[in-house]
Amino acid sequence: MIPTNELLLFAGAALLMVLTPGPNMIYLISRSIGQGRQAGVISLFGVIAGFLVHMLAAAIGLSAVFLAVPLAYEVLKWAGAAYLAWLAWQALGPGAHSLFEPRQLPSDSTARLFVMGFLTNALNPKIAAFYLSVFPQFVAPERDSVFLQSIALGGTQIAVSFSVNLLVVVFAASMASWFARNPAWLVVQRWLMGFVLAGLAVRLALEQRRSG
């Protein structure tokens, strides 16, 4: 299976991704502030259900790709580097906003909260691109089943995302209030995440394919 050091490195990448601006984080913060922690937690479970869809799709897809088209590794690598570079620009470019600047949303029922959380994530291009571009950097076909490796990576990503987002939901109101009183830190957060994403994009671009 995947070596522990590589799994920890992947967990670090997953942590960076969950901390960058995106539909999931914005939705959860906005829902938690606008409707309370319980609504945020229900929405979070919907988001996690969406992750399961992405994980299975990536596991099945990557298994087929690695078996049929070895060259696809290079394609996915460069696509992933380009995507991460684009995210860095989104964090640093003109008109960029911090994930701690949420938008207010109307109150919804429990079922709608779950469904909206699910759809927000299942249709989230950021997560789909992360699974299909970053996963290949940590999957080695010669090691073991690509499918099982993908499931292990997916489980790690989901655990990291759930832990971070749960904390965000619980402390959303407090964080929003603190950043409102300290707006300069919104800028610091954006620039820090932007440079980290740019560095990860360079790392992926320079990554060499593992030989069998």
Residue holding tokens 């965000």?
168
pLDDT tens digits, one per residue of 6-50: 889 889 888 888 887 667 877 788 788 878 889 999 999 999 999
Q: What percent of the chain has pLDDT over 70?
A: 73
Check: CB of residue 25 under 8 Å from CB of residue 112: no
More reliable by pLDDT, 90 or 144? 144
Whether 35 contacts 108, CB under 8 Å:
yes
Burial class (CB in 10 A: 0-12, 13-18, 19+), 29: buried
Among the listed residues 86, 91, 92, the one whose alpha carbon sits nearest the alpha carbon of residue 204: 86
pLDDT(93) > 80: no
Q: What is the pLDDT of residues 64-90, one digit of tens each?
A: 655 556 565 666 667 667 766 776 776
CA–CA separation, 167 and 172 (whole Å): 8
